[in-house]
Structure 1
Amino acid sequence: MTVENHTFDPFSEASPWEVASREAEAERDAKAARMAAKEAEAAEVPDKPARAAGGRTEDSGANWDDLTKRPMDWQRRMICLDISTPAKILGVAMSHYCGPNSHGCSASIDTLAEKAGLSRRAADRAIKALREHDLIRDVGTGYNWVKVYHLGIPK
C-alpha cells in the first residue's frame, strides 16, 4: 500500500488503537507509582490516632484485629480468654449488635445490661474489663450520644 510516495507496512507501525493502549498503560503505571509513593510516605510517618465521630481518639490498631464485621469469630476468641463471666456475657450481648453491615456496637449500656441479665453497674464493670483486655475500643458516639464500640482481638 502506498500513500503519497510513502510505503506503509501495516505490521511495522503501531495502529492508533495500540498507541492509545500504550498511553493508557503508561498512565496506569504512573498512577500506581504515585500510590506506592504515598503508601511509602505514610509508612514512614508514625501511626496517628484515628479521629472518631465524637472527637475522641483511639490507637489506630496496627496490632489489633478489628472483628466488628465478624462477631462470631470475635465471640469464639473472646470466650477462650481469661476474663470474668459477666464480661463474657456482656461481650456476647455486644456482638449481637455487630455484623457485616455494622459500624460497631451502638447499643446503650442499659440495653446491653438488660440483654445480658446484668445490673447497670455490673455492665459498666464488664465494659471496663473488656477495654482493659483490649477486646473492645470506643470509636466515638452514635445516635443519642451512645458510645460506639468496635470488637477486636490484640495480635
Structure 2
Amino acid sequence: MTKLTHVDQTGQANMVDVTDKTPTVRTAIAEGYILMSPATIQEVINHTNKKGDVITTAKIAGIQAAKKCADLIPLCHPLALSKVDVDFEIQPDFNRIRVQAMCKLTGRTGVEMEALTAVSVATLTLFDMCKAADPYMEIQGIKVLEKVGGKTGHWRHENKQIDESDSQ
C-alpha cells in the first residue's frame, strides 16, 4: 500500500517535511475561464463596468492570492515566490475570459497550488465585479497546464498544447 504523504503514522494530518529535498527552479502554469453574457464582455472590453477596471483588479487579486496560498490551503508550504504573473485573454467569440497564471521560485516544493489559487481568485474577482451585470456567469475549466522542476521534471497537461512563449 502506498504511504500517504499528508498523514502521519497515527492517521493525523501532517505537513510533508521537505527539508532534505534539493532546491530546484520550479514553475507552474494554470488556467481557467469565466463565461459571461456578450453585453458583460463588452463592458469589460470598453472599461464601462460600474465597479471600475475589472481586469486590473482581478490581476492584482490573483497575484495576492498566490502569495497567500499557504494561508488558504491546509498543509500547503509557505513559499517565497520569485515571480507571479496573471494574464487575461478576452474571447468574445466564446463569451468568456481566459485567465492564466504562472508562478515561479527556486525551492523544495512545487508551485501548482499557487498557480491554481491565482486563477481561482482572479476568476472569482471577475465574477464579483461583473455580477450586477450578469449573475449567470460561470467559472469553468480550472486546471494545471504545465509544471517544471522537482523530481517529476517537466509535465504538461495531455489535453493542452502550450506555446513555448507561455512557459517563459
Relative contact order higher in (CA < 8 Å, ≥ 6 apart): 2
As a proportion of its length, which structure holds more strand? 2
Structure 1 or 2: larger helix share?
1
Q: TM-score, normalised by structure 2?
A: 0.21
What's the TM-score, normalizing by structure 1? 0.22
* Bigger-Rg structure (1/2): 1
